[in-house]
Amino acid sequence: MIQLTHDPIDTQALTESVRSPQAGAVVLFLGTVREFTAGRQTVALDYEAYSAMAVRKMEELVEQARTQWPIEKAAIVHRLGRMELGDVSVAVAVSTPHRHQAFDAGRFLIDQLKIVVPIWKKENWADGTTEWVHPGSPGIAIPGVLLSGEQP
Amino acid sequence: MKFFARARDLTGCDTVTWTVPPATCVEPLRRRLATEFPAIAVIASHLFVAINGDYASDETIVRDGDEVAFFPPVSGG
């Protein structure tokens, strides 16, 4: 299942959707809204997408992953709109025969999603200002701020 | 043409329609973008471009009816 939604992500249903008698491992990754980024306090994030392209790119990522790992089932759901601290913004679930395949495939999917899928987040800082997160783009107060301390 | 995220904020619109000569590629569109929307000039050269939902380059030829999207580096997840 590949989906964009404005509703809270049902992570239990997503996990169940990739379970399979042929799989010995299920990995679920959740991306959640973090309060502090490089010392600045966030109160909420707003996400938007180029929806048609985003869905296609996510489908392509799953196809690419299938060429590298023996994936039984894979699912990616990204939520759009306003999210508060701790909310789940993205969920990736994958099942494979063995655990290392599921970890590796799941990591590939979320890492590539953050590079190629046209979705953007806007920080709503605690001081009342807002700021699009566009890593490496000029004119941003703190370039690539969300990438500090984490892999792209 | 479509704009997203900060590119949309800087142009002040999410969609514009341009008529261009046949066999025009992306590069002159990018230059015209900075001229018509001066606020976006600072990031114009850093914008990604997609044509009909696939990543394209400045050399890609634009065809009649194509949907050209300009957007800043992505930050989903």
pLDDT tens per residue across span A82-136: 999 999 999 999 999 999 999 999 999 999 999 999 999 999 999 999 999 998 8
Nearest to A33 by CA among A18, A45, A24, A22: A45
Binary contact (A52, B9; C-beta < 8 A):
no
Query: What is the pTM (predicted TM-score) of this model?
Result: 0.92
Q: How far apart are CA A50 and CA A1, in angstroms?
A: 18
From the list B50, B73, B77, which residue is nearest A137 (CB)? B73
Binary contact (B50, A114; C-beta < 8 A):
no
From the list A52, A56, A113, which residue is nearest B76 (CB)? A113
From the list A47, A52, A146, which residue is nearest B53 (CB)? A52
> How far is the alpha carbon of B21 from chain A, nearest alpha carbon, in Å?
26
* Banded pLDDT at A139 (limits 50, 70, 90): low
- Chains A and B form CB pairs within 8 A to the count of 85
| pLDDT over 50 at A5, yes or no | yes
Q: What is the DSSP string of B16-68?
A: ------TT-BHHHHHHHHHHH-GGGHHHHTT-EEEETTEE--TTPBP-TT--E
| pLDDT over 80 at B69, yes or no | yes
| pLDDT over 70 at A144, yes or no | no
